Amino acid sequence: MNSTLILGLQWGDEGKGKIVDALCKEGSLVCRFQGGHNAGHTIKVGGSQKVLHLIPSGIMHASSNCIIGNGVVISLPALNEEIEMLSNSGISVKNRLHISNDCPLILPTHIVIDQVRDKHEGIGTTGRGIGPAYEDKVGRRSLKFRDLADLELHKSKISELVKYHNQLLTKIYGSTPIDIDLVIEELTSFRKLQTNFGCDTYKILHKSIEEKKEIIFEGAQGSMLDIDHGTYPYVTSSSTTAGGVSSGLGIGPKQINKIMGITKAYSTRVGEGPFPTELFDADGASLAKIGHEFGATTGRPRRCGWLDLHALKKIIFINSVTELCITKLDVMDSFKSIKVCIDYEDGKPIYETFQGWLEEISEIKKFENLPIPAQKFISYIEDYLKVPVTVVSVGPDRDQTVHK
């Protein structure tokens, strides 16, 4: 058995899409287990770039198969748009994409509730309806992917759900209700997605495990956005940590062999919430500019700061991380000195300072060819976190991946 969980250890956008694509082999099975189209995973191959929101990043390899597990919440228009985007660039998802019939659906009402409510609450959500959709799942009111097979049968459930949403919109948030016919129309127009892709994904996954196929579990968001272990309430509404894999796909934790945690060489965050190592100076502006730190889903500027090893230590334990991948190391190329947070005193970060390498590393293919200061920086991270770094990313392209 050869399965790897690829997880973001920070607040998302660590480069999960790039690394899943880079590590994906011919014939691999790549599975999403949580989140929805709040994710934006960027993949660059030979100069051509794609951003995936729902479909696992393994889809870029023609012989791979992909699963969207029961833990993912699905927006039908977003799914349809992504399938069309891929198809327009010659990537077929037919017989390669398998979607759990147990996935809860994101309805147009969820999106409006999310957006209206965030104006009051100020979490800075992606406005994709993720939180309200998960609320309905836990509240046992969700419409599921399988329900698209017989909308007539579920008419009263849909009607009750939309009525409930409209009560929230009008009575609590002073907003306008959504016409139920619009909701039914959307569901009806995308019914074919269930016919084409809906299935019992457990069977495929369990068979792949039995056949010892290469499996990648692709995390979305990051551990510090986890509903239980993140910076609550400034979090997303799913289990983004390793624990989410079992429930989000229907497999036991022993089926996960390797757990690769991804961290940028610095930190970023989109939306509101605590960020102790955030920079408001020229270094922060340089990280944002050189790292092109704009959200892949909403286009919002990402807040930037130094790497927080102290926070990562706890996150590594929560996830049982067995190996690390450091991305965007090339972004530090022009920094004279680089800081990492190693502790806190009275809530303020204490930093260790490293000498920069002041040379371009984006073409380097072998770890031993990295400049000595870059190697020292990585060794320090390994020693501090007590986890080996096995992959270093030196650019957005699939090829710009250094194995240690």
- Say which amino acid occupies 351: Y
Answer yes or no: 292 catalytic: no
Q: Which phi and psi angles does 341 have, rounded to 5°?
A: -80, 125
Partner that binds at residue 18, options ligand IMO, ligand GDP, Mg ion, none, CB closer than 5 to 8 Å by kind = ligand GDP
Give the whole-angstrom CA distance, residue 337 versus residue 403: 25
Restricting to residues 40-99, which ones interact with ligand GDP according to CB under 6 A? 40-42, 44
In the bound complex, what is the minimum distance in angstroms from residue 401's beta carbon to ligand GDP?
Answer: 8
Can you read off the two tokens belonging to residue 345? Answer: 């005193």
> Taking contact as CB under 5 A, which single stretch among the options 8-16, 192-200, 264-272, 369-377 is the one that binds Mg ion?
8-16
CB 82 within 8 A of CB 43: no
In the bound complex, what is the minimum distance in angstroms from residue 332's beta carbon to ligand GDP?
Answer: 10
Among 296, 325, 332, 340, which residue interacts with Mg ion (rule: CB under 5 A)? 296
393 lines the binding site for ligand GDP (CB under 6 A): yes
Give the whole-angstrom CA distance, residue 373 versus residue 357: 6
Element (H, E) at 338: strand 337-345
Partner that binds at residue 271, options ligand GDP, Mg ion, ligand IMO, none, CB closer than 5 to 8 Å by kind = ligand IMO
239 in a known ligand binding site = no
Of 194 and 263, which CB lies nearer to ligand IMO in the complex structure? 263
Residues 37, 61, 137, 213: which is the catalytic one?
137
Q: Whats the size of the chain, residue-wise?
A: 404
261 lines the binding site for ligand GDP (CB under 6 A): no
5 in a known ligand binding site = no
Among 4, 12, 137, 321, which residue interacts with ligand GDP (rule: CB under 6 A)? 12
Of 69 and 271, which CB lies nearer to ligand IMO in the complex structure? 271
Can you read off the two tokens belonging to residue 270? Answer: 């989109």
Answer yes or no: 53 catalytic: no
- Beta strand segments in 265-332, E: 267-269, 303-305, 307-308, 323-327
Residues 6+ apart with CB under 8 A from 144: 101, 102, 103, 104, 105
Q: How many CB atoms lie within 10 A of CB 272?
A: 16
Give the whole-angstrom CA distance, residue 244 versus residue 220: 11
Partner that binds at residue 123, options ligand GDP, Mg ion, ligand IMO, none, CB closer than 5 to 8 Å by kind = ligand IMO
16 lines the binding site for ligand GDP (CB under 6 A): yes
Answer yes or no: 213 catalytic: no
331 lines the binding site for ligand GDP (CB under 6 A): yes
What does the DSSP assignment read for 341-359? EEEEETTEEEEEEEE---S
- On the CB side of 315, how many CA atoms lie within 13 Å of its CA? 25
Give the whole-angstrom CA distance, residue 29 versus residue 75: 22
CB 255 within 8 A of CB 209: yes
Give the whole-angstrom CA distance, residue 225 versus residue 319: 13
> Taking contact as CB under 6 A, which single stretch among the options 12-20, 135-143, 165-173, 383-391 is the one that binds ligand GDP?
12-20
Of 20 and 296, which CB lies nearer to Mg ion in the complex structure? 296
179 in a known ligand binding site = no
Of 81 and 352, which CB lies nearer to Mg ion in the complex structure? 81
β-strand partners of 144: 104
- On the CB side of 29, how many CA atoms lie within 13 Å of its CA? 27
49 in a known ligand binding site = no
Among 396, 398, 402, 404, which residue interacts with ligand GDP (rule: CB under 6 A)? 396
Of 172 and 358, which CB lies nearer to ligand GDP in the complex structure? 358
As annotated, the active-site residues are 13, 41, 137
Give the residue numbers of the binding site.
12-18, 38-42, 126, 140, 221, 236, 296-302, 328-330, 393-395
Site of interaction with ligand GDP (CB under 6 A): 8, 12-18, 40-42, 44, 292, 296, 327-328, 330-331, 393-396
Give the residue numbers of the binding site for Mg(2+).
13, 40
